[in-house]
Structure 1
Amino acid sequence: MAAQIAKFVGFYYFPSQGEASEELIKELETNIENEKRKAANHRQENIRRRHNYLPLIVELLKTLAEEGCLVDYVNKAKTVAKERKAVKSAAGKK
């Protein structure tokens, strides 16, 4: 990942030849900061994608079942799914 960041950061560096305007320098510095921010966001997103949420989901379902709420939630989800399907099929017939 660091190599990719260096590639993008290097892309935005401009060799100083004395004729580079302050505007151009500020724009390039802004672009560098944007690329660094994007890389940080990508790193965070990759961490989220790789995390195993399955144990959390299993424990949540176990807890809901022990409290007797799981059946109610399943029935409610079925009702909502039927309503959405009815609305979708009604919209398709128009």
Structure 2
Amino acid sequence: MVQKKKVAIVGAGASGLPSIRHGLLYGLDVTCFEASSYVGGLWRYREEETECKSKIAASANFLYFYIFRISLFLRRSQLEPETGHRAEVM
């Protein structure tokens, strides 16, 4: 019996999720190490946080999960509702 090659992915963000998906598609034994309790990394919009820890996070609220086609990997029920644009029309 051939043993599957083991791969470790650090982070379940915009790079980690596609890496996990493709590792599984190629039949690898994939383990992901994520520091937080959610997926999405810097691309996950969080209303409660006001302090920007990176330049990328400042524009994260304009991006959605479907841009990266993460929905091909996760079931729709596992994704948070899309928040949309934060601007309001007066």
Give the TM-score band, short-chain normalised.
under 0.3
User: Of Structure 1 and Structure 2, which has the larger fraction of its residues in strand?
Assistant: 2
Flag the structure with larger Rg: 1
Higher relative contact order (Cα pairs below 8 Å, separated by 6+ residues): 2
Q: Relative to total residues, which structure has the larger helix share, 1 or 2?
A: 1
TM-score, normalised to structure 2's length?
0.21
What TM-score do you get using the length of structure 1 for normalisation?
0.21
